[in-house]
Chains A and B, each alone.
Chain A
Amino acid sequence: MLELVEEAPRVRSIVLDLPGWRGHRAGQHVDVRLTADDGYQAQRSYSIASSPEDRSVVLTVERLEDGEVSPYLVDELRVGDELELRGPVGGYFVWEASIGGPLLLVSGGSGIVPFRSMLRHRTATRSTVPVSLLYSARSLDSLIYHDEIMRLAVQDGIDVSVTLTGQHPAGWHGYTRRVDRDMLAEAGIPPAESPRTYICGPTGFVEAAATALVELGHDPSRIRTERFGGSGAQSSMIESTSEG
């Protein structure tokens, strides 16, 4: 572990030095396995936040109050510590410049993480694929990659819309409600342009957004989803544990 970056309250990016890493594709994830002194193991999946072109592999982890792995990664891990990883894995929720676009990215909370990899990959490959990013967060404070998102928003070809579902600052001009059909029609890409659509977030968020997009006339076979499961705030994708 090379470096830690505070992204938001309870959210930290972990910069890793991985000897023998064979590279990844934007949108893939890794499994992190922790082993306690007594042999108890817990494993979770985390999306890779860095692009394939970045020098280091970065994971962004949100701490879950009842989590087994994320509290360690967010609160305990120190520079120089070692982690057991498996990956990269996943071939379904992947975007590469060669896949083309236009690209519609819809994220809730830490669902933004794989999209950061995709957007950095787009920049690194000088892709001109038009992108619409719709990002739902509770408040401006909890917006992960706030500065980077704001820099992206002024670039050509990238349209960023943010909705703050909890608190919003005075003078906020963005959306202030949960993602719905009207918002997707307004801030998304019309079905006639046949966008490649990726939705990542908590289960309820993904279900609602995917249903609304299909109602708007989007082709379900061009919509790819990644759900976190559990309650609204989870950033890990699986609760698999094994003993012994």
Chain B
Amino acid sequence: MYPVDGNAIAGTLFELLGAEMTDATGTCASCLEARPLGELAVYPGGPGIVVRCRSCDNVLMVLVEIRGITCVDLLGFTAVDPAPAS
């Protein structure tokens, strides 16, 4: 299955975190590559949404919604810097 972009979960992230996150910068803890969240590889087809690094495929973030509660696991980032003010 092909991944889509982080852009595709902009609405979900906004709802969860209260801010526009696609131009925030996430740094992968595995390969240290920093990219806008809008560029990350998103696999939305499973029971949850899995977000991976485009360079090394490391799992960065997992979002699972169950009975109206969304669990957010930011397991693979070493840093997430908020978006520059626009």
Determine, out of A75-83, A173-181, A220-228, the stretch whose residues face the partner at the interface: A220-228
- If over half of B's interface residues share one DSSP class (helix, strand or loop), that class is named, otherwise mixed; here it is mixed
Q: Which residue of A lies closest to B41 (CB)?
A: A227
Please, which residues of chain B bring their CB within 8 A of the CB of A203?
Answer: 2-4
What 1/0 flags go to B15-46 for Cβ under 8 Å of A? 10000111100000000000011110010110
Q: How far is the CA of A240 from the CA of B15 in the complex (A)?
A: 15
Instruction: Please determine whether A89 and B4 come into contact, CB atoms closer than 8 angstroms.
Output: no
Instruction: Please determine whether B44 and A230 come into contact, CB atoms closer than 8 angstroms.
Output: no
What 1/0 flags go to A212-244 for Cβ under 8 Å of B? 000000000000111111100000011110101
Is A86 located at the chain interface by the 8 A CB criterion?
A: yes
Q: Which listed residue, A31, A230, A242, touches B11 by the CB 8 Å rule?
A: A31
Please, which residues of chain A bring their CB within 8 A of the CB of B22?
Answer: 89-93
Q: Which residue of A lies closest to B19 (CB)?
A: A91
> Which of B1, B8, B9 has the most chain A CB atoms inside 10 A of its CB?
B8
Q: Which listed residue, A87, A93, A204, A227, touches B4 by the CB 8 Å rule?
A: A227
Given contacts A86-B11, A240-B12, contact A91 B86 (CB under 8 A): yes
Is B7 located at the chain interface by the 8 A CB criterion?
A: yes
Is B83 located at the chain interface by the 8 A CB criterion?
A: yes
Q: Which listed residue, B8, B20, B49, B65, touches A237 by the CB 8 Å rule?
A: B8
Q: How far is the CA of A227 from the CA of B2 in the complex (A)?
A: 10
What 1/0 flags go to A83-99 for Cβ under 8 Å of B? 00011011111000000
Q: How far is the CA of A237 from the CA of B10 in the complex (A)?
A: 11
Is A45 located at the chain interface by the 8 A CB criterion?
A: yes
Instruction: Please determine whether B3 and A90 come into contact, CB atoms closer than 8 angstroms.
Output: no
Q: How far is the CA of A29 from the CA of B10 in the complex (A)?
A: 9
Instruction: Please determine whether B5 and A227 come into contact, CB atoms closer than 8 angstroms.
Output: yes
Q: Which residue of B lies closest to A25 (CB)?
A: B86
Q: Would you give the shortest CB distance from B81 to chain A, in whole angstroms?
A: 14
Instruction: Please determine whether A240 and B49 come into contact, CB atoms closer than 8 angstroms.
Output: yes
**8 A Cβ contacts from A191-207 to B:** 203-204
Q: Which listed residue, B7, B39, B49, touches A90 by the CB 8 Å rule?
A: B7
Instruction: Please determine whether B44 and A93 come into contact, CB atoms closer than 8 angstroms.
Output: no
Q: Which residue of A lies closest to B84 (CB)?
A: A91
Given contacts A89-B20, A91-B22, contact A29 B7 (CB under 8 A): yes
Given contacts A31-B11, A225-B5, contact A92 B23 (CB under 8 A): yes
Q: How far is the CA of A140 from the CA of B5 in the complex (A)?
A: 28
Q: Which residue of B lies closest to A93 (CB)?
A: B7
13 A-B residue contacts at CB 8 Å?
A45-B7, A90-B10, A90-B20, A91-B22, A92-B22, A92-B39, A203-B3, A203-B4, A228-B4, A229-B2, A230-B2, A238-B9, A238-B42
Which 5 pairs, one residue from A and one from B, show the smallest C-beta to C-beta distance?
A: A92-B38, A229-B4, A92-B22, A89-B10, A238-B8
